[in-house]
Structure 1
Amino acid sequence: MPITPPRAAHLMASPDDVEAQFYEALREADLDKLMALWADDDEVFCVHPGGPRVVGQQAIRVAFEAVFASSGRIQAQPERVRRVHSIDSAVHNLVERIELQTSEGARTGFVVATNVYIKTAQGWRMVAHHASPGTAQETPEIVEAPSVLH
């Protein structure tokens, strides 16, 4: 299988920029745009809900190509994003609201996902996307109350 050269990615100034472009690429079913967001590293990985761990850019490309071929555009909207950032890395945990068209009409599903980003010479890039199996109801959240009041 020939390897498609990656499309030149825009300089992403923040992990939020990469995340916005990632979900836009899913909604547009734009494989080249989506792949341009990934770091140029052999160890990047992706786990689709209920699927295996997919490691490496080419394997990730093939996995998303299959998703787009079977589902088309993925109407995923990130919500309730929790962010942990450092100077050169970031982890975002969020709920993806997925809008699906079924034979019974429009349906909404929810997936909990974790996206990991690193800062590279080309700007911020994705190194991991891990999505859990979805649910029909919005995922409940247990949040610890702050122990120190400011």
Structure 2
Amino acid sequence: MSVDTAAIETVNQEFYAAIESGDLDKMTEVWAEDSAADQVSCVHPGWTLLQGRSEVLRSWALIMANTTYIQFVLTDVNTTVLGDVAVLTCVENILTAGEEGEASFAAGKVVASNVYIRTSQGWRLWMHHGSPVLQGDDDEEEEGELER
């Protein structure tokens, strides 16, 4: 593993740790600053495109304020470094709790693409795009058929 790959995967873990702990200060550190030419962007599963650092961070503040418990187990992590840009793809296996006071949990999967850029402060998140993976009884059968 290259030094860049290790650094990117560390920042990626910090990103998910910030979500899990509801730490908006840490989330703010992870995201890049907007440049004069381009803005950071984010697509949460089921949401429209958010552009601009303030809008993206506001969305995370809302999510964190309305999430009683969330845990991410990342699988299928793949990191590609192209100069000062890196793309990390992964599957977010997510466990969440029900509303406050409820003892229910829900699990789901999201395929995520996280684009990082090298800055003077180190690698920073430039774009996050999460797409839900639809799950049901038929999924296991279809996966089995594809493997044959």
Normalising by the residue count of structure 1, what TM-score does the alignment of the two structures yield?
Answer: 0.76
* 2:53 corresponding residue in structure 1: 57
Please give the per-residue CA displacement for 1:24-79, whole angstroms capped at 9, x wherever unaligned. Answer: 10110111101111111151011100101111111011111111122134312221
How far off its partner does 1:108 sit? 1.6
Task: Go from structure 1 to structure 2 and tell me whether the alpha carbon gap of 1:73 and 1:101 turns closer, same or farther (over 3 Å shift).
Answer: closer
User: 2: distance between equivalents of 1:51 and 1:128?
Assistant: 14
Aligned length: 128
Equivalent-residue separation in structure 1 for 2:122 and 2:21 (angstroms): 23
2:84 counterpart residue number: 88
Which of 106-115 and 128-137 deviates more? 128-137
Q: Does 1:128 align with 2:127?
A: yes
Q: Tell me which moved more, 85-94 or 70-79.
A: 70-79
> What secondary structure does 2:45 align onto?
coil
- 2:69, 2:115 → 1: CA distance? 23
Quote the Cα distance in structure 1 between the aligned partners of 2:44 and 2:96: 16
CA distance in 2, matches of 1:74, 1:131: 15
Considering only aligned residues, what root-mean-square deviation do their CA atoms show, in Å?
Answer: 2.2
Which residue number corresponds to residue 113 of structure 1?
112
Q: State the SS of the aligned residue for 1:41.
A: coil
CA–CA separation in structure 1 for the residues paired with 2:68 and 2:96: 11
Partner of residue 28, structure 1: 21
Identify if the C-alpha distance between structure 1 residues 68 and 37 changes in structure 2 by more than 3 Å, giving closer, same or farther: same
Query: What SS does the corresponding residue of 2:94 show, helix, strand or coil?
Result: strand
Q: Which amino acid aligns with 1:46?
A: C
**TM-score, normalising length: structure 2:** 0.77
Gaps of 5+ in 1: 1-12, 141-150
Cα distance in 2, alignment partners of residues 90 and 57 from structure 1? 19
Please state whether the residue corresponding to 2:106 is helix, strand or coil: strand
Gaps of 5+ in 2: 1-5, 144-148
